[in-house]
Amino acid sequence: MIINSPHPYAFMRALATDPQQQAASAYMNWLRMPGSELGLAKHGFAALEGFFNGMGQPPAPWFEPLRARYQAMWSVPGENGSHSLTGGVNYYRASPLHPPTDTDPGPAALTLQPQDWLVKRPTLVIWGEQDLALPSSLLDGLDALVNPLTIERIPDGGHWVVHEQPERINAAIDRWLAAQA
């Protein structure tokens, strides 16, 4: 089961060739920069909250009740004097999957083959179609990479659809699991 997370090959292809995906993922290049974790933590985690709290849209109603818990987690010191957010941004720093820049071709330098990324297990993909970072176009052609595939589209769901509509997500998972039995 996958919730608003693209297939690696499809994401690589989109980052290398799709201007819409490159623009939607531009934040990744900022996260890759040295010190980005300090920028995320500045002013009481205001920039980091921006990723969770609507991504430039109106405030997300699900976030406010969880704000204190998130901030407490983000405030825990990292290991060996690092910042607690360093591990998270290191994910972006280590990955070649980011929009190309003038100095780093990112996914354009990769020579991956789609047949090496086939998923041959029953898979449920739940997708919030209002996701600003991961457009629904990432689902196009997914059936060539994943088989058998079930896609559950949530037309009014965003990037954090699991927080926005937990009952709907759970119902979709329950339906899919029942169909697999």
Asked whether residue 31 falls in the same domain as residue 72, the answer is: yes
Shortest CA distance to 107 belongs to which of 118, 119, 95, 117?
Answer: 95
Confidence of residue 84 (pLDDT cuts 50, 70, 90): confident
114 lies in the same domain as 83: no
Average pLDDT over residues 142-171: 95
Tell whether the model's pLDDT for residue 176 goes beyond 80: yes
pTM above 0.75, yes or no: yes
Tens of pLDDT, residues 19-76: 999 999 999 999 999 999 999 999 999 988 888 876 666 678 888 899 999 999 999 8
Which tokens in the block code for residue 31? 């996260």
Q: Are residues 62 and 75 in the same domain?
A: yes
- Token pair recorded at residue 41: 């933590």
In percent, how much of the chain has pLDDT > 90? 79
Number of domains in the chain: 2
Distance of alpha carbon 158 from alpha carbon 6, whole angstroms? 14
Q: What is the mean pLDDT of the chain?
A: 92
User: Residue 9 sits in a domain of what CATH number?
Assistant: 3.40.50.1820
* Domain coverage including residue 31: 26-98
* Distance in angstroms (rounded) separating the CA atoms of residues 15 and 134: 11
Residues 43, 7 within the same domain: no
